[in-house]
Structure 1
């Protein structure tokens, strides 16, 4: 059996937004007991993370690391059509992931004790992000 669901996530600008509960809710409401949940973000300036959910300093340190790798307004970038965060947002998305595949066991995403699913917004302004969840299993 295959099911597909859509989520719309509003962001307030750059940062991580935990979406674990929203993903789990869709999986729990489905008829899938054992299988896979594929999560895909439909944007080139946002990404998805499976990350530590107990200590926010992990995501804080990730942001500082990516800020060094892809700084806003770097004069080396030629793509800046939407402002100084435009190319860095694309680089951050490429360096992270735009999709995740999670196991489904007993009708839930089988996440580790300290794992959470996050939408990672790379633009500095507020955005509306669209995600597709494809559930496959029995």
Structure 2
């Protein structure tokens, strides 16, 4: 598996991964409101790395470097549970300065468990009652 910086040529595949992954995993959200354009809107000004194997993109992470913040981490549903997310997290940790932070939707138990298993700690739960998320930190 290769981790590299994304280029605009990768964006069509990244848009699709972002849409498919959210539609499959975000059971609390209205999937009909999700579009391919969301990727571009939600990653403006971010440093994007991706994981690929045999030129096939498996997932990506978008990082907001000034705050050492992982904004997005998404793996194509077909490759979930195969170590892609862990590789992307490790590459993100190497790129930024500790402590790193991220937010994880409280209802996303699979993601919460993934981060905790990879050394992230819950700091505080924030947000409106219907949109709760955990701020998590890696030191």
Greater fraction of residues in helix: 2
The answer, yes or no, to whether TM exceeds 0.5 is no
Give the TM-score normalised by structure 2.
Answer: 0.29
Q: Which has the larger radius of gyration?
A: 1
Give the TM-score normalised by structure 1.
Answer: 0.29
Greater fraction of residues in strand: 1
Q: Which structure ranks higher in relative contact order (CA pairs < 8 Å, sequence separation ≥ 6)?
A: 1
